[in-house]
Amino acid sequence: MTSPSTRAVVPPNFDWDGFGFDTRQVHAGEVPDRNTGLRVPPIALSAGYVFDEFDDQVDRFAGRSVDPIYSRQGNPTNAVAEDRLASLEGGTSAVTVSSGQAAISSALFAIAQQGDHIVSTASIYGGTRILFGRSFRRFGIDVDYVWDADSDEAWERAIRPNTKAIYTETIPNPRNDITDLRRIAKIAARHHLPLVVDNTVGTPALIRPFEHGADIVVHSTTKFLTGHGAAIGGAIVDGGRFDWEAAERAGRSYPLITASPRPGLGSLLERFGPCAYARTVREQVVNDIGPSLSPINGFLLHQGMETLSLRMERHVASSARIAAWLESQPEVVAVDYAGLPSSPLHAIAERDYPAGTGSVFALTVRGGIDGARAFVNHLSVFSRMTGIGDTRSMVIHPLTSTHATFAPEISERLGVTPGLLRLSVGLETVDDLIADLRRGLDAV
């Protein structure tokens, strides 16, 4: 006869707080399907959701229930990716959207409106600067840039009474000129401003901005998080620690978060506490504008995150070796990679990026644009294409692509010169990549 102890079954674990990063990237957010027992969360291809009864519909539309109404606000497949990313970044909640640009826009539209102002570090992705200078300006939101992020005076000159956020990137694209997040976080806190950080190139496998004082993290999940270049997506993660009420007392208004959306209903801050900002993004930005993520792409995202730390180890190891090799080649004028001991940013890299400074960096070849053209045209393993964070290695010439619309003096000040090329190092055999780069340099 079987004893009761041998018949007992330990239930599966669904609360992954306190578990290691590698465990959480595989399990966080997943609950086996109760109807079929599917271990891998299925793709929920449904536009809407059935209401239990009349008053359930009333409660959902009145904001008294957080159950979904329509897949524009949320989807069970995407929820797995959201919960997983929030766990990996150390945030309270996350919202997935249709692209990285949608993530940046949604994150900032939740806290800034017409007549408001944002301050950003100068070295950020070219597409983000275009977004700020074109669409944000058209919507009445001004963005100013701090060129010397180590200067308190520069920050003080840039921040205004109507400033609503500070924006930066952990590892700026294309030059790997990493940001001293701790320093910027202190400035943001002193001025009662949320610090919004794009961690696309860093990923939570290399750096978790909340641990350095950030308040909001955004991602283009198209890149390293999904990892295979097959699906576009974006995400916003709420750190849950910014004091919105204290900011308002200091004269910075965030009405979507702190004001009641309708009579008889408390503010999102009152109802959702440390998840209030993420709820604001979901209910009052993504719901209204509609940049929802396809559940197919949400599925590819949470699948991609399962191997994030393993892929990033390979990305970084290959990049460090390639950057050191490039630095010694006579055809190369400069290599912008903070992981190199010769980099002026190496001390910050060692302090804040012990696992490496990613796999997106720049080299400058001799011969200006003609040298760059010869180099690119003689590569056969590196793909000539836009994009980063793929399993495949990629190369692009920023001055004639991502920065093509910039005024010459701006590009020059950003260090985007005619001979500069951006590499995104993939997962191929590193010796094959070096041999390919050698062919390109021979053409130079």
Q: Quick one: average pLDDT of 390-410?
A: 97
Confidence band (pLDDT; 50, 70, 90) for 2?
Answer: low
- End-to-end Cα, the chain, rounded Å: 80
Encode pLDDT of 156-179 as tens digits: 999 999 999 999 999 999 999 999
* Interacting residues of 22 by C-beta distance below 8 A, sequence separation 6+: 309
Which phi and psi angles does 339 have, rounded to 5°? -75, -15
Distance CA 88, CA 86 (A): 6
Confidence band (pLDDT; 50, 70, 90) for 263?
Answer: confident
3-state secondary structure of 97: strand
**CB-based burial of residue 287 (10 Å sphere; 0-12 exposed, 13-18 middle, 19+ buried)?**
middle
**Residue predicted with more confidence, 37 or 271:** 271
- What one-character DSSP code corresponds to residue 133? I
Other beta carbons within 10 angstroms of residue 383's beta carbon come to: 17
Q: Are 121 and 240 in contact (CB under 8 A)?
A: no
Q: Quick one: pLDDT at residue 189?
A: 98
Q: Quick one: average pLDDT of 23-33?
A: 92
Q: Check pLDDT > 80 for residue 6.
A: no
* Helix or strand run (H / E) with residue 394: strand 394-396
High-pLDDT (> 90) share of the chain, %: 91
Quote the strand ranges of 289-385, DSSP E: 332-336, 360-365, 383-384
Q: Check pLDDT > 60 for residue 424.
A: yes
High-pLDDT (> 70) share of the chain, %: 99
Distance CA 112, CA 118 (A): 8
Q: Quick one: pLDDT at residue 34?
A: 75
Confidence band (pLDDT; 50, 70, 90) for 235?
Answer: very high
Domain 308-443 annotated CATH 3.40.30.10: no
Confidence band (pLDDT; 50, 70, 90) for 106?
Answer: very high
For the chain, the domains span 46-305, 308-443
Distance CA 183, CA 366 (A): 35
Encode pLDDT of 15-25 as tens digits: 999 999 999 99
Q: Check pLDDT > 90 for residue 368.
A: yes
* Helix or strand run (H / E) with residue 78: helix 76-89
Which fold is adopted by the domain 46-305? Aspartate Aminotransferase; domain 2 (3.40.640)
* Interacting residues of 314 by C-beta distance below 8 A, sequence separation 6+: 427
**Mean pLDDT in the chain?**
96
Would you call the peptide bond into 68 cis, given omega within 30 degrees of 0 as the criterion? no
Beta bridge mates, 311: none
Distance CA 106, CA 233 (A): 13
Q: Check pLDDT > 70 for residue 5.
A: no
Q: Quick one: pLDDT at residue 1?
A: 53
Q: Quick one: pLDDT at residue 203?
A: 98
Confidence band (pLDDT; 50, 70, 90) for 150?
Answer: very high
Q: Quick one: pLDDT at residue 12?
A: 84
Q: Check pLDDT > 70 for residue 367.
A: yes
Encode pLDDT of 281-321 as tens digits: 999 999 999 999 999 999 999 999 999 999 999 999 999 99
Q: Check pLDDT > 70 for residue 4.
A: no
Domains 46-305 and 308-443 share a fold: no
Distance CA 391, CA 223 (A): 10
Q: Quick one: average pLDDT of 223-252?
A: 97
* Whole-structure pTM value: 0.96
DSSP string, 139-155: TT-EEEEES-TT-HHHH
* Helix or strand run (H / E) with residue 195: strand 195-198
Q: Quick one: average pLDDT of 349-368?
A: 98
Confidence band (pLDDT; 50, 70, 90) for 32?
Answer: confident
Closest CA to 315 of 438, 433, 208: 433
Closest CA to 184 of 225, 207, 142, 154: 154
Q: Record the tokens describing residue 124, joined without a space.
A: 């950020």
Q: Are 128 and 402 in contact (CB under 8 A)?
A: no
Q: Check pLDDT > 90 for residue 63.
A: no
